[in-house]
Amino acid sequence: MKHTMKGLLGAVAMIAFTLPAYAADITVDLAGEPSSLDPHLQWNPDSYYVYRNIFDNLLTRSNAGEIVPQIATSWTQLSETELELTIREGVTFHDGSSLTPEDVVFSVKRITDPEFGSPQLGQFNQITDAKVVDGNKVVLTTAGAYPALMAQLVKLSIVPQKVVEAMGKDAFNAAPVGSGPYKFNDWSRGVAVSLTRNDAYWGDAGPFDNATFRAVPDAATRVADLLAGTADLVVSIDADAGAQLSSNADVKLLSAPTERVGYMGLNLDKAPFNDLDMRKAASLAIDRLGITEGLLQAGEVPVSQMATPAHFGYSADLPLFDFDPEKAKQLTSAKADLAATPIELATAPVFDQRIVQAVQQMLNDVGFNVSISMTDMPTYLGIVRSEPSENSELSFGRWSCACQDADGIIYPTLHSDSAWSRVNLPEIDALLEEARVSLDPAVRQAAYDKVNEMVRENYYLLPMYQAAVLYGAAADLEFDPTANESMFLNRMSIVE
């Protein structure tokens, strides 16, 4: 941990017992540059790590995973479709203006406006209205009963209406104004984002005067930075790097199982994966256990669905996918012309390229023709959200909703109205909609069981593993990793 001398407390400090005051700065190496600092736009990890410290959300989760107050101090379910939230008073944005219930309503309506085009729309589009009542209360109305609403609201950041409207969407993204424990300072594109502590913050103050989030795509460089003391916290490291850090007393390895699913996305509208046999062959070719135990080795486990045991809606009895490369070869040989179709596998530096390369090799070994297309994260996100004709044939992704409810992971990746989904099946849509609005947990679970079974039988997506997260940290940095992969600076501390 780097320290900056603020100065001597007095002239007598040189000859007396008074010690100089120190204030810590923190440098965090990310795998990539944030694609957005507007919390209503992208929600990928490198963006979320940064902007979550700039903004407060309606609700948040404790490190133990419990939903707890943030901008909303309490809440009451008025009916199946109405939730009343009491808004915290005395909160100010970084420009000095007060955070009001009107800002909450504006934030809700902004992220749920289809014309705004938030990639997070599918997680909030059950909200049909928001209005201020009784001074400091806000009532949210949903299209129907929505049991996942509270879990989704932990991700809904509050933005200042007047600032957003005055600056416009692009300018606000470039210089965001929030109410969180850290204020935006500078964004050197392609290099780093810097924040400064918000000394007027209503909640727990951050322990660092300044925070710098650097884009360092190469994992080995991130580890080298930590070992050299030029970084205090590094993300997205693998088990080999973890073993290296474990033997060094100046640093430490931090880990946690997550609710994130690593998966292969398939373009169902293009050859070869518009063919069931080709999708099945691709799945049979992927050695999920070999990837988790041979490559990752950090606690990841294979999964058979777009959910983990951390999610409500996980189907515990669904069998894992088979690994049978010989059967895969039989399927590709029977349709050799189709299997030989050039396949672009889209990826970005934030992902573990050992996995991407292993999948490429496994697929090519059974007769496919796969090439890797590496782009920066914003470009990658544009590709995987594009129209089928412009989308890649194959993509590697890792999805987490930080909500621990299948609605936040299965709905956006499988429902036809989601830009992330390549699936367009009325039966799946109907089941996901039923699970989204029923207040009966048994009804919801039954719907998710059917969806998970259909996806597995038809290989609409190829789930691979439940991810674990590994961080490298300076020895004097206290940081508790969580399943939702949040990085709250004001929940960290320094041990001298």
More confident position, 339 or 403? 339
What is the average pLDDT across 212-230?
A: 95
Report how far residue 359's alpha carbon sits from residue 435's, in angstroms, rounded to the nearest whole number. 33
- pLDDT, position 257: 82
SS3 state at 301 = strand
**pLDDT, tens digit (0-9, with 9 covering 90-100), for 159-169:** 999 999 999 99
Which pLDDT band holds residue 142 (cuts at 50, 70, 90)?
very high
Q: Output Rg (C-alpha) for the chain, integer angstroms.
A: 24
- pLDDT, position 282: 98
Report how far residue 329's alpha carbon sits from residue 247's, in angstroms, rounded to the nearest whole number. 43
- pLDDT, position 482: 86
- pLDDT, position 259: 87
Counting residues of the chain whose pLDDT is more than 90, the rounded percentage is 77
Q: How many CB atoms lie within 10 A of CB 117?
A: 11
Which pLDDT band holds residue 20 (cuts at 50, 70, 90)?
very low
Contacts of 473 (CB under 8 A, 6+ apart): 226, 232, 233, 234, 251, 252, 253, 254, 479
Tell me: pLDDT of 130 over 80.
Answer: yes
Indicate the helix (H) or strand (E) that contains 212: strand 208-215
Report in angstroms the alpha-carbon separations of 493 from 22, 24, 482: 14, 10, 16
Question: Packing angle between helix 219-228 and helix 239-246, nearest 10 degrees?
Answer: 10
Question: Do the beta carbons of residue 32 and residue 189 sit within 8 Å?
Answer: no
β-pairing, 493-494 with 477-478? antiparallel
Look up the pTM and report it.
Answer: 0.75
- pLDDT, position 22: 38
Q: Where are the alpha helices (DSSP H) in 44-100?
A: 45-51
Q: Where are the alpha helices (DSSP H) in 247-388?
A: 276-285, 288-289, 325-334, 336-339, 353-365, 377-384
Tell me: pLDDT of 3 over 70.
Answer: no
**pLDDT, tens digit (0-9, with 9 covering 90-100), for 56-65:** 999 999 988 8
Computed over every residue of the chain, the mean pLDDT equals 91
Report how far residue 133's alpha carbon sits from residue 143's, in angstroms, rounded to the nearest whole number. 19
Tell me: pLDDT of 42 over 80.
Answer: no
Report how far residue 33's alpha carbon sits from residue 348's, in angstroms, rounded to the nearest whole number. 11
Looking at residue 61, its amino acid is R
Token digits of residue 213: 């989030």
Beta bridge partners of 67: 61
Looking at residue 391, its amino acid is N
SS3 state at 472 = strand
Which pLDDT band holds residue 1 (cuts at 50, 70, 90)?
low
Cis bond before residue 272 (omega within 30° of 0): yes
- pLDDT, position 10: 34
Tell me: pLDDT of 366 over 80.
Answer: yes
**pLDDT, tens digit (0-9, with 9 covering 90-100), for 102-128:** 999 999 999 999 999 998 888 898 999
Report how far residue 321's alpha carbon sits from residue 310's, in angstroms, rounded to the nearest whole number. 20
